[in-house]
Amino acid sequence: MSTPPKEPNTLRKGNWKQDPDAVKADILRVAKEEFATYGLSGGRIDAIAKRTTVSKRMIYYYFENKEGLYKSVLENVYAALRESEETLMVGDLEPADALALLTTATFDAYASNPEFIRLIAIENIHNAEYLTRSDVVQTLNRAIIDKLTDVCDRGKAAGTFRAHADPLELHWTISAFCFYNVSNRATFSASFGDALHCEQGQARLRRRLRDIVLGSVVIGYEPPD
Amino acid sequence: MSTPPKEPNTLRKGNWKQDPDAVKADILRVAKEEFATYGLSGGRIDAIAKRTTVSKRMIYYYFENKEGLYKSVLENVYAALRESEETLMVGDLEPADALALLTTATFDAYASNPEFIRLIAIENIHNAEYLTRSDVVQTLNRAIIDKLTDVCDRGKAAGTFRAHADPLELHWTISAFCFYNVSNRATFSASFGDALHCEQGQARLRRRLRDIVLGSVVIGYEPPD
DNA sequence: TTCAAAATGTACTGAATGGTTAATTTGTCA
DNA sequence: TGACAAATTAACCATTCAGTACATTTTGAA
């Protein structure tokens, strides 16, 4: 999240140290901002290069072309989010508590990663053609489904979850609300005001989402007001 | 929905009839497809012109520039959807039934208007800057909120709705679910398969949405399985 | 030291593309 | 019918921008 301290963007003429990894990371960092802001067709290679410590040539050296760079950015943010999900330990919580935690954690994770949301939205405009062609991403989605499967199984075994509770459907539901909350903030606010996007409104939506999710699978769930 | 029968795209050299309205409508129709497919920066004026019966110059004649055209497209689809919502008569249904109808109708409307969804998604990438500057759109959103307000009021009066039932929050919830269902279909399917987007899956999500919405406001709601 | 490979910079190009100029056709009405 | 406005076309222009050719510097190993 926090941008690493960087040498100032003086074009290093004459004497510089080779540092491929730092260069690649720097390019990716800037490219992520650019593509998240302007999209794939709207993002400018020259603009990215200018905000980098290195020259435009390096983008092509390391990423081949614009689409290659975009694809790398996509894999990058995707992996970062999934890894953050990975760290959530819900194994020893009661099923309902575990589900509540997964839900609110997703809400928070999406809300604090608008660039990720924007990039996924952009990728959907492109019919996910780059995501589909990426073998990296395919493997990253097991984790969240596995967690929800475990929670559902335990909940059903304990008799507290309804029989129809389904991990994929749950993930879809949670993701839908959390995603929309960020992705459509601009148009929703423009149309209806920002009552739901001010701090208070977000807290309300967060609780409401938790109640909706738990209410849909936990037998006899009552919101803790 | 169905594209009106059009004269073939022969460039009309020599003898043509003046028909400004038809020309404008034709341009808008093509531009809508183009922008929905490629976005604002990705959409090509030349490509639009080529699929039109008229010459590129006409786009600038009637819409000033690319952004003007985009904005007109946006207003156009927005108005169309809101008008279709307008025709929904729910005034004389029981509150719960009315809410169920509004919910499933929205699900269907979004699902059958992917171009609208894509354009809104694109507009969100642009932080709704064109929507914000459009005075047309502002007035179009009263209707749906008014309807939900009426339903909520009647439900609470009848004692069947919970006290916290809130029109704006309801609209947000319904919209989130229905929007995500279309907007993120590509990436979700790429990640998790299309179990939820095949015909059966969509029917399941549709019922699930209805149950979630009703369950969150109707006291003692039980899904009619 | 030398030398090849890796890493980086500079300057350029060609195609794509948004937008314009200037002329032509069509409609209208005095 | 003729003149003027509205609608429309074809050809052109200027710029932006992804991508490249080629030169230069750094590094590490022999």
Which pLDDT tens digit goes with each residue over A128-147?
999 999 887 777 788 889 99
B42 touches chain A (CB under 8 A): yes
**Contacts B120 to A, Cβ<8 Å:** 184, 187
DSSP three-state, residue A160: coil
The answer to whether A79 and A136 have CB atoms below 8 angstroms apart is yes
Judge: B212–A173 Cβ closer than 8 Å, yes or no.
Answer: yes
The answer to whether A9 and A53 have CB atoms below 8 angstroms apart is yes
Nearest to A128 among B38, B176, B187 (CB): B187
d(CA A160, nearest CA chain B) in Å: 17
Nearest to B191 among A137, A183, A190 (CB): A137
Q: Give chain A's mean pLDDT.
A: 90
**Contacts B216 to A, Cβ<8 Å:** 208, 211-212, 215
Please list, in sequence order, all residues whose beta carbon lies within 8 angstroms of the beta carbon of residue B210, skipping any fewer than 6 positions away.
Answer: B100, B103, B104
Nearest CA in chain A to B223: A216
- Taking only residues 130 to 189 of chain B, the set having a beta carbon closer than 8 angstroms to any beta carbon of chain A reads 131-132, 137-138, 141, 145, 168-169, 171-173, 175-177, 179-181, 183-189
Please, what's the b/e burial string for A127-150 (b: 16 or more CB within 10 A of its CB; e: otherwise)?
Answer: bbebbbebeebeebbeebeebbbe
Nearest CA in chain A to B183: A124
Give the C-alpha separation, B101 to B97, whole Å: 6
Q: Which residue has the tokens 């929507």?
A: B131
Distance in Å, residue B184 CA to nucleotide C15 C1': 34
Residue at B127: amino acid letter: N
Distance in Å, residue B44 CA to nucleotide C17 C1': 8
**A118 membership: H or E segment, kind and range:** helix A114-125
Give the C-alpha separation, A163 to B187, whole Å: 28
Optimal mutation site among B149, B187, B225, interface A, most CBs of chain A within 10 A: B187
Q: What is the mean pLDDT of residues B49-58?
A: 96
B124 touches chain A (CB under 8 A): yes
**Contacts B182 to A, Cβ<8 Å:** none
Answer yes or no: is pLDDT of B165 > 50: yes
Strand D and A56 CB separated by under 7 Å: yes
Distance in Å, residue B16 CA to nucleotide D3 C1': 22
Looking at the DSSP bridge assignments, the partners of residue B161 are B218
Answer yes or no: is pLDDT of B6 > 80: no
DSSP three-state, residue A218: strand
Return the pLDDT at A40.
98
Nearest to B41 among A42, A141, A180 (CB): A42
* pTM of structure: 0.92
Return the pLDDT at B14.
52
Q: Which residue has the tokens 């984790």?
A: A143
% residues pLDDT > 90 (chain B): 77
d(CA B92, nearest CA chain A) in Å: 26
Q: Which residues of chain A have pLDDT under 50?
A: 1-11
Which of A182-186, B28-32, B56-60, B87-91 has the least mean pLDDT? B87-91
Q: How confident is the model at residue B199 (pLDDT cuts 50, 70, 90)?
A: very high
CA of B66: nucleotide with nearest C1' = C18
Give the C-alpha separation, A27 to B35, whole Å: 29
Give the C-alpha separation, B221 to B94, whole Å: 14
Q: How confident is the model at residue B101 (pLDDT cuts 50, 70, 90)?
A: very high
d(CA B129, nearest CA chain A) in Å: 8
Which of A182-186, A201-205, B108-112, B135-139 has the least mean pLDDT? B135-139
Q: Residue A171 CB: number of other CB atoms within 10 A?
A: 22
Return the pLDDT at B79.
87
Q: Which residue has the tokens 């919502």?
A: B85
User: Which ranges constitute the DSSP H helices of chain B?
Assistant: 20-42, 45-50, 56-63, 66-86, 95-111, 114-125, 129-132, 135-138, 142-158, 167-183, 185-192, 199-217
% residues pLDDT > 70 (chain B): 92
A216 touches chain B (CB under 8 A): yes
Locate A109 and state its tokens. Answer: 């994770």
DSSP three-state, residue B44: coil
- Considering Cα of B166, then B172, then B177, then B182, what sign does the dihedral take? positive
